[in-house]
Amino acid sequence: MKRIIIEGNKTLSGTIKIGGAKNSAVALIPAAILAEGTSVIKNVPNISDKDALLEILNLLNVQVTDEKNALIINAKEAQNKLITENLSNKLRASYYFMGALLGRFKKVEMYFPGGCNIGSRPIDLHLKGFEALGAKVKRKKSKYIIEAKELKGADIYLDFASVGATINILFAAVLATGKTVIHNAAREVEIENIAKFLNKMGAKIKGAGTETIKITGVKKLNGATINVIPDRIEAGTYIIMGALIGKNLIVDGVNPNHLKVVLNKLKEMGVKMKINRHQVILNKCDKLKAVNVRTVVYPGFPTDLGQPVSVLLTQAEGVSQFEETIFENRMGHVPNLQKMGAKIEYERQHAIFYGPNKLHGAELTATDLRSGAALVTAGLIADGTTIINDADHILRGYERIITKLSDVGAKIEIEEV
Ligand code: UD1
């Protein structure tokens, strides 16, 4: 286990370069297995979730060359093997091997995926989608055997616009016979990135990024090259830090169009920023206004930034309301912020912030990836020393976070305990 130690109250100044989007990369890597050839994925973030996916590719006899930020993946000799419980459990995105292996081999055996403990996170919509395409799903405790004689295109209606289910159904449908239509599909920009990769491989997908995605199955896919889009959640996290303690902090390599709703919310709070084509430049804002934040599916306020933005709410003058609508258990940061002096009342998926509150350093525990990011943000603005235990969660999704923050003036270290 690792822990992060922060000496707070320093100014952040300089440039932070944003990496490739975690939620795109973790789907693009399994997608490469759909091609009987070599694919190149560029701008892959250096996060521990990537390492876990490469372990799975290794098990499946897929050849991978890891060159700086590019992965060269040759899946020609891929073998369909049981993905062990230990590997399935390492991350949420292991579930993308369900759709990818089912698409390529018409059979997959693996276990329930791992990932952050932020709610029950069932995979029923993924499985219903596979079944609609003609697969049979057998479950023995947490092991799934999903098999199809033939995958046939179908009309699929998602009860909820799930990111994971939309992508998994895409993976199974691109090599099915006939037409598939996904209704009420998730519209996240990462899904457009993944559909672009699949189309470059030879798939026929239309409408990615909208709520209706149409797929015409093809017989075979070839390797292709794709760039991972910038990580809007990593960018949003550093933008929030800049609003709190920035002095001309340049968050670089961003696509501001992917963050419109977040930037608008920050403007509503009175955050001063300059938005260029690929940069957001921030300065500390002395007087932040209280606002209400409600997380919803894309293009609404992203659930993955709900925890980091909470730190901003502790500094706003007045009463701010916060509601998390996607996951049942995404308040792990709140007791930690309370420990630092934040006045917050919360129950289940609602929290009320009474700000502004001066935060002081404390010993904290990251309960999940984005709560960890919130605690780093809080530690940076607090008086004194903050210790964040279970910091491994943070490294799953923020590449080189210690170096990136140290380079702009933060006093932050990580150590093994
Ligand atoms: C993905 C992201 C995660 C982000 C989330 C929402 C990855 C690896 N993770 O997670 O960072 O917070 O989207 O933007 O990309 N649900 C069901 N049944 C299902 C699937 C989902 O009930 O079969 C529910 C979930 O419990 C949750 C909601 O739908 O309440 C949204 O889940 P989903 O969009 O699928 O999120 P993930 O793919 O898990």
The pLDDT, as a whole number, for residue 302 is: 98
The protein residue whose alpha carbon is closest to atom 34 in ligand 1 is: 162
Are residue 107 and residue 121 in the same domain, yes or no?
yes
Residues 211 and 266 in one domain: no
Q: In whole angstroms, what is the distance from residue 381 CA to residue 385 CA?
A: 10
Quick one: what percent of the chain has pLDDT higher than 90?
A: 97
Question: Backbone dihedral region of 134: left (phi > 0), alpha (psi from -120 to 50 degrees) or beta?
Answer: left
Both 390 and 256 in a single domain? yes
Query: What is residue 68's predicted lDDT score, i.e. its pLDDT?
Result: 83
Q: What pLDDT does 116 receive?
A: 85
pLDDT for the residue 355: 94
Q: What is the pLDDT of residues 93-103, one digit of tens each?
A: 999 999 999 99
Q: Is the CB of 151 under 6 A from ligand 1?
A: no
pLDDT digits (tens, 9 = 90+) for 330-376: 999 999 999 999 999 999 999 999 999 999 999 999 999 999 999 99
Same domain, 34 and 99: yes
Supply the residue whose CA is at minimum distance from atom 24 of ligand 1: 121
* pLDDT for res 120: 83
Q: What is the pLDDT of residues 18-31, one digit of tens each?
A: 999 999 999 999 99
- Model confidence at 115: pLDDT above 90: no
* Residue 395: band (very low, low, confident or very high) from pLDDT cuts 50, 70, 90: very high
Q: Tell me the per-residue pLDDT of 40-80, one tens digit each, with 9 for 90 and over.
A: 999 999 999 999 999 999 999 999 999 989 999 999 999 99
Q: Whole-number mean pLDDT of the chain?
A: 97
Strands (E), 161-298: 179-183, 204-206, 212-216, 225-227, 246-252, 272-275, 279-283, 288-289, 292-295
Tell me the one-letter amino acid at 306: G
Mean pLDDT score, 287-295: 97
Range of the domain at 95: 22-227
160 Cβ inside 6 Å of ligand 1: yes
Q: What is the mean pLDDT of residues 164-182?
A: 98
C-alpha pair distances (Å), 39 with each of 30, 164, 191, 224: 11, 22, 18, 5
CATH of the domain at 48: 3.65.10.10
pLDDT tens string 117-137: 888 889 999 999 999 999 999
Q: Do 366 and 218 share a domain, yes or no?
A: no
Task: Please check whether residues 303 and 168 belong to one and the same domain.
Answer: no
* Closest C-alpha to ligand 1, atom 5: 163
Q: What is the pLDDT of residues 241-277, one digit of tens each?
A: 999 999 999 999 999 999 999 999 999 999 999 999 9
For the Cβ of 409 lying below 6 angstroms from any atom of ligand 1, the answer is: no
Catalytic residue among 47, 116, 201, 273: 116
* Residue 116 annotated as catalytic: yes
Asked whether residue 191 falls in the same domain as residue 340, the answer is no
By the 8 A CB rule, do 28 and 194 touch?
A: yes
What's the total number of domains in the chain?
2
CA 164 to ligand 1 centroid distance, Å:
6
